[in-house]
Chains A and B, each alone.
Chain A
């Protein structure tokens, strides 16, 4: 299906393409497909494309004077694109320690949302999340699919230092802090996995369109995995998903 897209120049050398302003998987798949189409055309001077829930930002190398040409080329590409074949994706299984030594806000969520801590863990590990895009911090995955019962407002005052690997909830989103950072999300656990490795040519293991599952581990297991991760020998579990 064709969505009604808007095309806007953004600064001197970028074009912003927007889908309807909702968070939906069919929009994600359409924009990822269109992104692949644009990339496959090897458009001269295109240096970078980044996407979010409902937008593609296409960045050109040189300062543009003629946006109309660029925009009409992109419009034609969208309307004449082939049907999307869902590219292969993976389901990544992420170990998380939900011990209260890591899950600093489990108790608060339990009180505010009137839900037992063990049920918070069951709900958080019971869902399959979709990776929409990576933003905010290097390796920070924007995930969709959080159970409504876990939705909780951000902290009124952000913490100055959130530990690397903190698994957190902010509004109706959940995610993992890939590095130490300030942040206002409610922390429920910690994953020993590295979500960003600047030494790798492709610094993140997960791609937009992939799925993520969390499974609970003990503090001892967290320690063991962390040691393996630091030594660079930990093998993250994943499986291919049929399109």
Chain B
């Protein structure tokens, strides 16, 4: 068992998301940065969909009541094992009584912690991802007890020497495809999307990232249609909204761009006032 001494700003258990329930209006959810979460699971030898802890902006403080191994990936939040600094992207042995905590956010925005064999949380509609109204709780709270498997044997791990993408936390390039309504934009509007540097507004969370810069917009709303994580909507007031993993399943704003999967991961590591630039990919 792992006890949450302090949950940090916004921490939740996530896996690869809820698949097959969007037709009931159920969001995908799942880890925001699949690259870092997969890496955390692979480095420890877990299945790729093993539930991990996702921490946002500030890390949690966790006391372990079970011997295990952990890996920390994604944002660099200055992790510590009982006050001694430890490194991201390495397997760390944790013993009963040990405390993992985090300090200053040095790079990125979301940090992932995997434990050997994954966190054992309740699966609802095929996923352990926390989401308000579906899982019992939406975020971790102080004094929560997270169940883990007792195992002090680290299996032979062929991924242990994996190389980590260096620019994952620093890249400002967001690769996109044309969205279904892209061609309805004027040439000027289309050009603007790729020439302008945009920045993340303070309204950024697991549902959506809004951008600070607005565009002139004359497009009418559309008949409510499907949207996906990574869809960029253009609102009547000219605001650009990038939908993220907890987004609604349908929407009525024109869908002008769609992020590449790997760029959703890059964006998940950005926060308020970070700048980004869109680069068009072709199908």
A74, CB-defined interface residue at 8 Å:
no
- Which of A67, A133, A138 counts the most B-chain CB atoms under 10 A from its CB? A138
Smallest CB gap from B226: residue in A: A57
**Contact between A50 and B249 (Cβ–Cβ < 8 Å)?**
yes
**Which of A9-17, A99-107, A118-126, A145-153 lines the interface with chain B?**
A9-17
Whether the pair A48, B225 counts as a contact (CB closer than 8 A) is: no
Contact indicator B250/A198 (Cβ below 8 Å): no
A42 to chain B, nearest CB (A): 14
Q: Is the interface of B mostly helix, strand, loop or mixed?
A: loop
Taking the closest CB of chain B, its distance from the CB of A220, in whole angstroms, is 28
Whether A14 pairs with B24 at a CB distance below 8 angstroms is: no
Among B231, B250, B255, which residue has its beta carbon within 8 angstroms of that of A135?
B250
Residues from 1 to 50 in B contacting A, C-beta threshold 8 Å: 19-27
Q: Write the nearest CB–CB distance from A177 to chain B, whole angstroms.
A: 11
Q: With a CB–CB cut-off of 8 A, which chain B residues contact A9?
A: 177, 283
Q: Assuming the A-B contacts A53-B224, A133-B250, are A48 and B25 also in contact, with contact meaning beta carbons closer than 8 angstroms in the complex? A: no
Interface presence of A21 (CB below 8 A): yes
Whether B108 sits at the interface, judged by CB under 8 Å, is: no
A133-169 at interface with B (beta carbon < 8 Å): 133-140, 142
Q: A52: CB under 8 A from chain B?
A: yes
Q: A52-B223, A54-B223 are in contact. Are A11 and B22 (CB under 8 A)?
A: no
Which one of A11, A48, A57, A137 contacts B248 once the chains associate, using CB atoms below 8 Å? A137
In the assembly, what is the distance between CA of A22 and CA of B222, in Å? Answer: 10
Alpha-carbon distance A44/B224, docked complex (angstroms): 28
Most chain B beta-carbon contacts within 10 A, residue among A52, A59, A142, A203 = A52
A138 contact from B24, B230, B261, B283, Cβ within 8 A: B24
Q: How far is the CA of A19 from the CA of B254 in the complex (A)?
A: 16
- A116 CB–B CB distance under 8 Å: no
Whether B179 sits at the interface, judged by CB under 8 Å, is yes
A18 vs B225: C-alpha distance when bound (angstroms): 9
Closest to A61 in B: B19
| A136–B23 CA distance with the chains assembled, in angstroms | 10
Number of interface residues of A (CB under 8 A): 42
Q: Does A86 contact B (CB under 8 A)?
A: no
Within A17-74, which residues are at the interface with B (CB < 8 Å)? 18, 21-23, 47-55, 57, 59, 63, 67
**In the complex the two chains form, is A138's CB within 8 Å of B25's CB?**
yes
Least CB distance from B156 to A in Å reads 28
* Max chain A Cβ within 10 angstroms of own Cβ: one of B25, B177, B222, B223: B25
- Decide: B180 and A50 in contact? CB cutoff 8 A: no
Pairwise interchain contact B26-A53, C-beta atoms closer than 8 A = no
Q: Which of A83-114 contact B (CB under 8 A)?
A: none
B113 at the interface (CB under 8 A from A): no
Whether, in the assembled complex, B260 has its beta carbon less than 8 Å from a beta carbon of chain A, the answer is yes
Q: Which residues of A have CB within 8 Å of B260?
A: 11-12
A81: CB under 8 A from chain B? no
Ordered by A's residue number, 22 sampled pairs between the chains whose C-beta atoms are within 8 Å are A10-B180, A11-B177, A12-B260, A12-B261, A13-B261, A16-B226, A21-B223, A50-B22, A50-B226, A53-B224, A57-B228, A134-B23, A134-B24, A137-B248, A138-B27, A138-B133, A142-B224, A198-B125, A198-B134, A203-B21, A203-B125, A204-B24
Known interface pairs A54-B223, A198-B125; 18 further A-B residue pairs with C-beta atoms within 8 A, sorted by A's residue number: A8-B180, A16-B225, A18-B180, A47-B19, A47-B20, A51-B226, A52-B226, A53-B223, A57-B225, A57-B226, A59-B22, A138-B26, A139-B25, A179-B133, A196-B25, A199-B124, A203-B24, A204-B25
